[in-house]
Amino acid sequence: MIGVLDLQGDVVEHLDHLERLGVVSRRVKEPSHLHDLKGLIIPGGESTCLSRLIKIFGMDTAITEACERGVKIWGTCAGAILLATRIVGEKPYLGLIDMEIERNSFGSQLASFAATAAIPRVASKAVPLIFIRAPKIRSVGPGVEILLQLDDYIAAVETADILATVFHPELTNNLAFHRYFSRKCGLTAEESPPLADPTWTPTSWTRHSRIAASV
């Protein structure tokens, strides 16, 4: 099972992608929800807000301990910021992957953009990338593998236990990164639907919001 940290940010979008792959998932709101997980996704959102909520709900220590016992962790955008050991101009938060990251490196919200890139480790074809007030990974330490470098910055990295992307795979119809992370967690992700899911729409994730509201 893969958990999605449900304190702030793109929670339902990740749940939607995992469901399409047939991967069992759940929302994670408190330390007890980390029990029996194989992986945890820390979604994009607002990193300062998310870091405060993580501390308030006691998730900072719980996430670190989960990582130490083998739970794989994937941080997207704000989640990647929280995982870094070094953040330009401020103190780190969880510090679980040896890299330096810089917040809001592209400028304001208006500087958000979409692109595509080949990431052979993740997929055989180029995948779409969505950057929203994205950070840039400036450097990595020993043992951290670069999955994607664009121009003067690094956009995706990993270790045996951690995956970090500065973009948002959950905001596209492409399932490649979620399949890659699921397999990194030792889980079997369905071969169908194809990596570019033709049934996906930009509002597909709203069904998860409706389900949560009815519970």
- The label of the residue with tokens 């994730």 reads 205
| Tokens describing residue 115 | 């692109």
CA torsion sign for 29, 207, 175, 25 is: positive
The one-letter amino acid at 101 = I
d(CA 37, CA 168): 22
Catalytic residue of the set 13, 77, 102, 178:
77
Catalytic residue of the set 14, 17, 168, 208:
168
Q: Which phi and psi (to 5°) does residue 113 adopt?
A: -155, 165
d(CA 101, CA 41): 18
| Tokens describing residue 178 | 């979620």
| Pairing state between β 72-76 and 162-165 | parallel
Cβ neighbours of 68 (radius 10 Å)? 10
| Pairing state between β 72-76 and 25-28 | unpaired
- Residue 17 annotated among the catalytic residues of the structure: no
d(CA 16, CA 81): 23
Catalytic residue of the set 14, 170, 178, 185:
170
- Residue 77 annotated among the catalytic residues of the structure: yes
- Residue 170 annotated among the catalytic residues of the structure: yes
Residue ranges of alpha helices (H) inside 45-134 are 47-56, 59-68, 78-83
Catalytic residue annotation: 77, 168, 170
